Structure 1
Amino acid sequence: MNRKIPSLLNGEFGIFYSRPIVNMYMDKLPTSEWREFIKILDCMYAGEDSSAIVSMIEHGLNRSTRNRSLFYLLLSLKLLVSNDENDELYNKLRREFGRIPSGVRKEVAWALTNYYGLYHPEREIRVFRVWSEVYEKESSAKILLLVGRARSAAQRGNRDQARDLFEEALKMAKKLEDPQGLINVLNDYSWYMKQDNIEYSLKLAERAAYYSGYYDEKLSSASCVLDTLSIIQHESKDKGLYNTIELQRMTGFEKDGPLQTLRDRLAVVELEQSEYPNEDLTRSYLKKHIENVKNTSRKTCVAWDNLSYLLNGITRRIRGVTLRKIIVGLEIAVDLLNDPFPIVNEYVKSKVEESFEIAINELGKLSSNDAKKLVLSTYSALRDRMGSFPYLCRKGVLLRIVEACSIDLHTLKEIAKRRYELMKFIGQLFDLHPFLEGRRDAAMKFLDVMPKRKSEEFISGYLQLTEKERVIIDTFMRDYARYNRDWGVKLEPISELKLFVQEYGLKNVPSTLAYWVLDTKRCRTKLVNLLMKFS
């Protein structure tokens, strides 16, 4: 078993995907020097302090002097967790590369190339020939190297070279199906090239957000990716900025960044608010946009005398529906940062209504089963549901939505129109943020694996769960899709999972990995107990 550890961690699975293998070995390996190596990886995944990890590595090095494979693997980990340049260790590993056991050379070369790409991206790649081209060509480490060189070229003003390097790295990341490489390339590409083509940069940033949602359950890349996307959306005046900022409040963002004022502003948006005091600031804003009361009345379907009373301050409170009619009828380009709060709030509500009407029309084109899967997968993708969609999380509400979506759209419309929260959710079925779309697509791929009858059974069982139980199943669905690829290994699910896997037509390997990727035995036990309810 010990000899398989390096290749499983960095060969078949790679660093991004190897979390379940680490957990599996942590559970199964007896106390040994290899178990200590796995423990170090576990701490790295948990994001523990690098100085503590280095201390663990030093302890392991002192115990592994006779095990050359483990010794050099630990040195490569030390190189990876260094906060500063560590050229001395880098050169030591380069000089001694020929002495490294062949079974772990690929892993050490990966660490060397990563370090090189981070600190010395401008040197020529041919410096690696001492390690043989086997370790140079098309690896996640080389992607990092190319991105580093592309960033340097962009900073020097060599835009053409930067674009070529980014494109080469992007092509390689797609071919290798390297999640972290793909996210990093897209994010850096969009940021460094936005001066040249803001529209193309926006597309790149949206794809980075999509892949971050699809691959990254721990949200390790979400903060950086969404920060890049929000800034590009702000500069390009993209209408999706509000949704990105809403997500950032759940995933984290850079404090006091360039969009902090806007984040603070949008944090107070209240979809259920229907009236506002008729303050001077709001009246002054409306007067700037209403040149002729009668023409405005005709365009907005608001009675001219009501408009006159509103503008003259006779009306003490303004109805939200009146503001929405004015915004839509006059096609006002609302400034989320500077316009009065009632205008911003009703603008957001008008967009919710617009997306809702589109969704109702699109739902009518889907089969009953497809509509159910769309609703469930979209629901599963949402972040902080209890905070953002508290009514939708109540017992029986999602069940009513699913039934109405697949049977009676008129009833669905009547149910949803009572609450903007429900209208917002239904609107997102066909207008979802790229980050959430990635999470939804992962869940949808899980549902698509099942035969139609079994997917119906699974959805029915899911609807009976509590909100806390659904969160656990949501994670399992996404992780199954992420690990559903050819790994070149055979893994059997634990005995308690076998019945569920067989009954729903799932595969052994992704089911097993989706189980082991959970960090603690307690979490894994909860998952098994829930899945047994479906069998």
Structure 2
Amino acid sequence: MKHYSLNKLIDIIEYGAFSKPIVNYILTNTEDEDLVYYLLCLKSIWKNKHREAFKYADLVTTTTTTTILNELATLEKISILFNNNKIKKANIELRKIKNNIQSLNKKARKIIIPALRFMEIRFSNLIDENLVRYWSAEYESSYAQKSLLKYSEARKYLNNKDFHKAFDLFIEGFNFAKRFPHPTMICSGLNNAAWWIRNIDKNKSLYTAILLEYNIGYYFEDLFKIYNWFDTIFDVYSINNYIGLYEISRIVNELKNNINVDNKFNKDFYNSSNKKHISFLFKNNINQIMTIFDFNFPIVFLSTYSSLIEKPYFTKSRILKVIFEGDKYKIIKYFSSNYEKMYFFNLMLSNFQEENLINNINNKNYDFLNSTGSSLFYIARKNLILKLLKNIRNKKEFIVHYFNLSDSEKNIFDIFLRNCVRYDIKWPIIPKVDGDLKSFALKYNITQKRVVLGYYSFEDNERLFLDSIIGKFLKI
């Protein structure tokens, strides 16, 4: 079992819930009791189990002899207490952490100080007077923390109903979060920007909501975490009479699980308006079919299929034979037979340049909407798989193995493939790759680092299930 540097740990947990793969890996490779308690506290917070999180944070503060871990755990306790209206206890803990700030190193300060400033603004009417003050600006070298501070500043302008200035600050914070990258702050900034400007400037809100839809698809799976963001997108699309409204409604209803989805999302996807839109896109996309063939059509097909929440029934038929033959006329004829197939075809041919939309927002240019007309949520998910399988070996075998999986196996394997790319950043700790994971990566020419990060994005029992799936891809 290993001992992990707390400085490296800070660089990891600064990503919030996005650090889950590394946290899971550390938990399987350490016996440091106080570190285990702290990591379990974080995981409980990410699952919105705040009572459980507080229990683990309390265990850290009563067992650790390490100042940094103690202060990090105390920070989580303060946030939980304020959010649960335990104001007196929250202020007691806040006083403790303030008194210890000077004894912390720069690494710890860059997380704790901006978090305190954010809480100071969010809970300003609940915090005892003069408890929090501004310390050295050393921590501002972190893009994630700069993002948090921009959002804190934006909230001040919201209080004064200066929505345009708040919008600009949310976008500045988004840009910092994107450079980090910090997925929760990326989407939080876009969500707030779109929501607060929606009744003031429709074009600004629509641009931002479209960008938010793409980033949700790129970074997130769990509707419990992202439902409110979809709610914002729905309202913005509705205000703008934007065709993407039907796809957002469909996605929310397909993703719902133990969540009461608002009735407003019950839209008929294949209504006359959307059918007309699907047919129009299909005719345009036929002209682009040669481009996608040059880009490796079977992988584009697989990437599109795996991006969908509910899989189309037509893939149970002879479609793989048609795909592998590569006859563009047969493919066009096949996909033109009904609207479900045309919709799928449009997704295969659709692309989206996120950078163009970001540049337009940063340059305050909202006159031209650069959108594909297809769901950016699905396009983002498709793009993740395309990146992963760009240089794949044994392509046909991989695809055949995939379509031989059961529906439950496909579901977890799809998430695994997307997570392989989502979590591929410069972590200070990289999990070890060995056994079937290494064999899988080598056989199909997929980056080993990506494979192991995707693997540890799952919990213990899910990893056992994933082991059995990966084993099927290693059979001849």
TM band (smaller chain): 0.7 to 0.9
Identify the residue that residue 356 of structure 2 maps to in structure 1.
none
Listed as ranges, the matches of 1:100-249 within 5 Å are 100=104, 104-109=108-113, 111-120=115-124, 129-130=134-135, 132-249=136-253
Q: Are the counterparts in 1 of residues 14 and 111 from structure 2 also a CA contact under 8 Å?
A: no
Listed as ranges, the matches of 1:409-448 within 5 Å are 409-429=328-348, 430=350, 431-448=373-390
**Are 1:505 and 2:445 matched, yes or no?**
yes
The CA deviation at 1:463 is 3.5
Question: What letter is aligned with 2:210?
Answer: E
Identify the residue that residue 30 of structure 2 maps to in structure 1.
29
The CA deviation at 1:40 is 2.0
Pick one of 271, 287, 292 that aligns with 1:361. Answer: 287
Identify the residue that residue 53 of structure 1 maps to in structure 2.
53
Q: 2:48 aligns to what SS in structure 1?
A: coil
Q: Are the counterparts in 2 of residues 454 and 504 from structure 1 also a CA contact under 8 Å?
A: yes
Q: Are the counterparts in 2 of residues 363 and 371 from structure 1 also a CA contact under 8 Å?
A: no
The CA deviation at 1:454 is 4.4
Question: What letter is aligned with 1:508?
Answer: Q
Question: What letter is aligned with 1:433?
Answer: S
Listed as ranges, the matches of 1:466-485 within 5 Å are 466-485=406-425
Q: Are the counterparts in 1 of residues 143 and 179 from structure 2 also a CA contact under 8 Å?
A: no
Deviations 1:234-257 (A, max 9, x none): 111112211111112123499686
Question: What letter is aligned with 1:438?
Answer: A
Identify the residue that residue 308 of structure 1 maps to in structure 2.
none
Q: 1:372 to 1:108 in 2, by over 3 A?
A: same
Cα distance in 1 for partners of 2:217, 2:277 equals 23
Cα distance in 2 for partners of 1:212, 1:371 equals 26
Identical-pair percentage: 22
Q: Are the counterparts in 1 of residues 163 and 196 from structure 2 also a CA contact under 8 Å?
A: no
Identify the residue that residue 516 of structure 1 maps to in structure 2.
456
Question: What letter is aligned with 2:463?
Answer: R
The CA deviation at 1:472 is 2.5
The CA deviation at 1:440 is 1.4
Instruction: Report the structure number with the largest CA radius of gyration.
Output: 1
Cα distance in 2 for partners of 1:119, 1:480 equals 37
Deviations 1:124-151 (A, max 9, x none): xxx7642x22223444244233223324
Pick one of 301, 323, 339 that aligns with 1:402. Answer: 323
The CA deviation at 1:210 is 0.7
The CA deviation at 1:206 is 0.9
The CA deviation at 1:533 is 3.3
Pick one of 453, 468, 471 that aligns with 1:529. Answer: 468
Cα distance in 2 for partners of 1:102, 1:151 equals 26
Q: 1:111 to 1:170 in 2, by over 3 A?
A: closer
Q: 2:161 aligns to what SS in structure 1?
A: coil
Identify the residue that residue 355 of structure 2 maps to in structure 1.
none
Cα distance in 2 for partners of 1:223, 1:401 equals 37
Q: Are the counterparts in 2 of residues 376 and 459 from structure 1 also a CA contact under 8 Å?
A: yes
Cα distance in 1 for partners of 2:133, 2:318 equals 60
Cα distance in 2 for partners of 1:398, 1:470 equals 17
The CA deviation at 1:491 is 3.4
Identify the residue that residue 63 of structure 1 maps to in structure 2.
63
Q: 2:288 aligns to what SS in structure 1?
A: helix
The CA deviation at 1:426 is 1.7
Cα distance in 2 for partners of 1:129, 1:410 equals 67
User: Could you state the TM-score of these two structures normalised by the residue count of structure 2?
Assistant: 0.82
Cα distance in 2 for partners of 1:455, 1:403 equals 11
Cα distance in 2 for partners of 1:54, 1:458 equals 45
Cα distance in 2 for partners of 1:455, 1:116 equals 54
Q: 1:414 to 1:219 in 2, by over 3 A?
A: same
Listed as ranges, the matches of 1:306-325 within 5 Å are none
Identify the residue that residue 366 of structure 2 maps to in structure 1.
none
Q: Are the counterparts in 1 of residues 12 and 19 from structure 2 also a CA contact under 8 Å?
A: no
**Are 1:392 and 2:318 matched, yes or no?**
no
Question: What letter is aligned with 1:144?
Answer: L
Identify the residue that residue 317 of structure 1 maps to in structure 2.
none
Identify the residue that residue 298 of structure 2 maps to in structure 1.
372
In structure 1, runs of 5+ residues without a counterpart are: 272-344
Cα distance in 2 for partners of 1:401, 1:91 equals 68
**Are 1:346 and 2:272 matched, yes or no?**
yes
Cα distance in 2 for partners of 1:435, 1:208 equals 9
Cα distance in 2 for partners of 1:471, 1:112 equals 39
